[in-house]
Chains A and B, each alone.
Chain A
Amino acid sequence: MGVLPTIEEEFLLTGKAKLEIRLVAFLGELSGLAAQAAECANEQGRFWRFHDILYANQGGRGSDAFSREHLQRFAEALGLDAAAFTSCLGSGRYASIVLDDTNAAQQRGVDSTPTVFVNGREVAGSLEEMRAAIQAGLSPES
């Protein structure tokens, strides 16, 4: 079981923690396009489902897994309003937001992904360290 599913099961489902994703585009043009597509899915209330599909179908740096055509296919497979999704992605209205978020992340010292903060403190991505940081955040002294 990966880190995120375990954290979800132990801390998110139990109401002890919440997870916020901030999208950045460090790895090129298609990174940015995928982030914009996720924002377009968010307009239709399906951010997390689309997020999961992107991760399940990623092809790595340099692949075309997140080309416009493939992003459109994902949206259709998810049952999104395809016309609205295409219009949203084509408009580029989230391009500057993704760019701003990427710049903001870099200003915070984030230069690789995934980078995780727990209650404002950067934590290495291993399960044990995440667990410890969350437990520390739950303790009354913190």
Chain B
Amino acid sequence: MAPKPTRGRRRGRAYSRWWVYAAGAGVGAAVLAIFVIVSGLTGGDTEDPPIVMPDARPASLAQEGHVLGSSSAPVTIIEYADFQ
């Protein structure tokens, strides 16, 4: 027949269980905090930046395809451009 557990032993088990719960909650909180920090650093909630709308050109300036200005202008400027 197994010996009857004393009151002291029972209280000891309850304490050790309490520490397991506390440690689990602590680890969970730490994981959550790391997730929040990493999300903030990497832009987790990605909101699109506002679009900058430049001023429109004067209506008197001819625009035809890739050419700006009068097609009969005596000087031709060619610009090689990369948008990025």
Of the candidates B58, B72, B76, which one forms a contact with A13 in the assembled complex, judged by CB atoms under 8 Å apart? B58
In the complex, the answer to whether A134 meets B77 with C-beta atoms within 8 Å is yes
Q: How many residues of B contact A (CB 8 A)?
A: 32
Known contacts A17-B74, A19-B68; is-contact A114 B84 (Cβ 8 Å): no
Contacts A8-B61, A60-B84, A66-B83 given; does A134 touch B75 at CB 8 Å: yes
**In the assembly, what is the distance between CA of A39 and CA of B45, in Å?**
32
**A93 interface residue per 8 A CB criterion:** no
User: How many of chain A's residues touch chain B, expressed as a range?
Assistant: 35 or more
- Docked pose: A20 CA to B81 CA in angstroms: 10
Per-position contact with A for B36-64: 1 when CB-CB < 8 Å, else 0?
A: 00000000000011011110111011010
B15 within 8 Å of A by Cβ? no
